[in-house]
Amino acid sequence: MPPPIELRDAVPEDLDDICSLIRALAQYERMLDEVVLVPEVLAGHLFGPSPSAHVTMAEDHGEVAGFALWFPTFSTFLGRPGIWLEDLFVRPEHRSRGIGLALIQSLRARTDGRVEWNVLDWNQPSIDFYESLGARPLPGWITYRLTPPGSSGR
């Protein structure tokens, strides 16, 4: 019998599951119309010779339950690398089993620098979860974004 919760680095064979999780996250965030990724292009960015991002897969009794998509950052003030958590998602049927916590802890273990992310202001369940871990919003900071031509800017 597989272990109850297992985390592992994604491999190219996980691409379909990663795309499915991204779509499920986008649906949860009411942004499904924003998903325009091309799986083959995403694969190159995740598994090519110079990956732009990494994925940690979470399995619950052998079933893909969630993921964290992240990439390295660097803090000039700390003088050390950190991690930007781009997306964390656990399928609803696998929530409240410690998977989100395990994913965050796995990122924390990868760096002695900062682990940072954004959360939508209406997503109170996630805000409550992150604050239960001791994370806090950064007062005085506003997120800016430059988008590619033709993008909606969301």
For the chain, what percent of residues have pLDDT higher than 70?
Answer: 97
State yes or no: is 130 an active-site residue: yes
Mean pLDDT of 92-121: 96
Superfamily of domain 5-132: Gcn5-related N-acetyltransferase (GNAT) (3.40.630.30)
Average pLDDT over all residues of the chain? 94
pLDDT tier for residue 142 given thresholds of 50, 70 and 90: confident
In this predicted structure, what is the pLDDT of residue 19? 98
**Whether residue 151 has pLDDT greater than 80:** no
Mean pLDDT of 89-94: 97
Determine the distance from the C-alpha atom of residue 71 to the mean position of all C-alpha atoms in its chain, rounded to a whole number: 9
pLDDT tier for residue 152 given thresholds of 50, 70 and 90: low
Model-level pTM? 0.92
Domain ranges of the chain: 5-132
**Whether residue 147 has pLDDT greater than 90:** no
pLDDT tier for residue 148 given thresholds of 50, 70 and 90: confident
pLDDT digits (tens, 9 = 90+) for 132-141: 999 999 999 9
Indicate which residue of 44, 114, 130, 135 is catalytic: 130
